Chains A and B, each alone.
Chain A
Amino acid sequence: MTESIAVENLSKSYELGALRQETQLRDQLVRLLHAPFRGRRRKEILWALKDVSFKVDVGEVVGIIGRNGAGKSTLLKILSKITYPTSGRVRAHGRVASLLEVGTGFHEELTGRENIFLNGSILGMRRREVESKLEQIVSFSGVERFIDTPIKRYSSGMRLRLGFAVAAHLEPDVLIVDEVLAVGDAAFQKKCISAMQDLRGGGRTVLFVSHNMAAVENLCSRGIWIADGSVRLDGPTHEVIEAYMGSFASAEAAASDLTTVDGRRGSGEIRFSKVEFLSADGRLQTVTRSGKGLMIRLHYRAKEPIERPSFGFKMYTELGTLVTDTGTWLHGLDIPLAPAGDGYLDLEIDSLNLIPGRYYLSLQLDSSMSQHLYDGLENAVHLDIEEGPIYGSTRRIDSRHGVVFFPQRWRLEGIGSGATQPTPASATQGIRR
């Protein structure tokens, strides 16, 4: 196999002081006046990547996975030459195109057609190339009718489609893609995925970063798991995904007490301390069944009184698909003050209409007045949902049938042949009124 990309001992450090944005000359002058003989303040160094090496052959489609802040984005930025490594090097053969965003360089005032040319050019296409592919790009985007309208009149979906349409016609030797499929409607996502699968067939090398494990599993033949700036595991996709998801489970087992969990974000004046799952009658449980009532109790510990905190969590499937995002702020609830010390709040769910499987909760505690984050824990705890009598039948219903089921019933009167139907009561089982 011929080599397409070789990454050798790549490291990248950031100075935390630089992130504190000493971008006013004045600040530096003031410092100079205060302490004229002291050298530049010693800065804290953060290693975003440490000694990362791997090789990718021509035609391989590699999925890069890892938690937020693990270094995936930094790796992509170095591979796309946007930023430079502190040490180590990258060798890439052929034309490299990177899509860290769809529609980079789009300008609101320009029409769809004009933006195709601008975006195509920035992404590395020649004008002639864009001209010859213009028709295909326009029809792929599905915004033909508005192609001569300024894109400020476009919906975000249309903009996305237009951006992806340009990207899909790039024909690079190496394509670097970051999570761009995470947005957009389902039909368009499907189109993008099939476009990416065409890339795979066309002997192109693709590096794909995503939190969507289902997409990674579908598209990639190989996975690379990045943790704490290093390659944790590199191998066949399903093995890497399994190990990666397993890392959350083992972290959880050791930490029903969340106070000792590391790798959390936020400033920490107030933090989640424990998550408990309670049945409808108030008993603690670690597994629950589809269709049952559930109470999620979020414990917190505040070091100081916190004004207007906002509690929330996101629930994900095992493959990283967001099931729901809920929180006190979204519910329009106002919590004037969380006094210092321990406390908890409960989320009552009447009927957990989720298909059996393992679900992960990412917790977030921030200020409802500003964007300030107190505590953020990714996939902090999991909840195992066992089979329950969904739809009141004995049929086995699992992840092949989706993520959720709705309280529902089929009505067969219209067939008029006396077909049997379950009693309505069992179809809506589990719903408390």
Chain B
Amino acid sequence: MGAWLAEIWRSREILYFLAWRDIKVRYKQAALGVAWAVLQPLLTMITFTFLFGRIAGFSSDGAPYPLFSFSALLLWTYFSVTLAQVGNSLIANSSLITKIYFPRVLLPGAAALGGLLDLLVGSVLLIGMMIYYRITPHWTVLLTPLFVVETALLVMGFGMLLAALNVRYRDVKYTIPFLTQIGLFVTPTFWPVSYLPSKYQWLLVFNPMAGAIEGFRGCLLGSSSINWQLVACSWVMTLLLLLIGGLHFRNTERVFADIV
């Protein structure tokens, strides 16, 4: 494991170049360019605000509903979009895998890294919304990057597992959009954790994105009712998935070039 990590560290420049390639290519021919990074969570937020905020009258733990849902959707969009890219990163680059050697994990790594740019662009809008709603940042806002890191690690851990499986079973490719679609509903994006009866709240432990979003949103908006237990559990799950994903990836990467 040590040698594996050392080699990855030595090849980190390839990681930057691959991420840079992904980003460049993604925006090169899109007329709206970087605006796409904002549009997806923005439009979802508007829909949710209308449906759940206005019509259904969901509560939002005291914050303005648009801000409440947008902050969660920003992180969720990064997770769902990037997970698909990470999961497909090996088969999308099969011509590289069969022609040249470099640490294979750089491919999912680059996809996870590249997706962060969209998140960063979306954050500008988020800051704008906070100014608009006159939210005074609480000191906990300094903790928000931790949850972005957690989400990236989660995407990596889960993604490495999916990417490695995807090489052998192309079914995975079709499973990912389905998983993330279901995920959107079972993750507290447009509803607060407090909506779940407390006897069911433990179920959220199995969804690490629940804790990441709860922590991110709570710290950003200075909520006093963050479910820290859930946050801690999601960190444990994330690190566990990272370990499992990494081990599985390392154990199967030798055959990628033969079967991809």
Contact = CB atoms under 8 A, between A and B. Distances in A.
B135 to A, nearest CB: 40
Nearest to A108: B25
B259 A122 contact: no
A150 B24 CA distance: 12
Contacts of A25: 169, 171
Contacts of A24: 169-171
B169 A82 contact: no
A67 to B, nearest CB: 21
Interface stretch (B91-99, B111-119, B190-198, B234-242): B91-99
B24 A109 contact: yes
Given A26-B171, A122-B14, A107 B101 contact: no
For this complex, into which size category does the number of interface residues on chain B fall? 20 to 34
A100 B28 contact: no
Given A24-B169, A26-B171, A82 B99 contact: yes
Q: Which of B29, B102, B170 has the largest number of chain A CB atoms within 10 A?
A: B102
Contacts of A105: 96, 100
A83 B99 CA distance: 10
B232 interface: no
Interface in A103-137: 104-105, 107, 109-110, 114, 117-118, 121-124, 126-127
A101 interface: yes
A405 interface: no
A84 interface: yes
A82 B97 contact: yes
A96 to B, nearest CB: 9
Given A23-B169, A24-B169, A25-B169, A82 B259 contact: no
A126 B11 CA distance: 9
Contact of B254 (A14, A18, A84, A109): A84
A265 interface: no
Given A23-B169, A107-B25, A114-B24, A122 B17 contact: yes
Nearest to A120: B17
A240 to B, nearest CB: 27
Nearest to B17: A121
21 contacts: A18-B258, A23-B169, A24-B170, A25-B171, A77-B257, A80-B101, A82-B99, A83-B257, A84-B254, A98-B100, A100-B99, A109-B25, A109-B28, A110-B21, A110-B28, A118-B17, A118-B21, A121-B17, A122-B17, A122-B100, A127-B13
Interface of B: 13-14, 17-18, 21, 24-25, 28-29, 95-102, 168-171, 254-255, 257-259
- Which A-B residue pairs are the 4 nearest by beta carbons? A81-B101, A121-B17, A84-B254, A25-B169
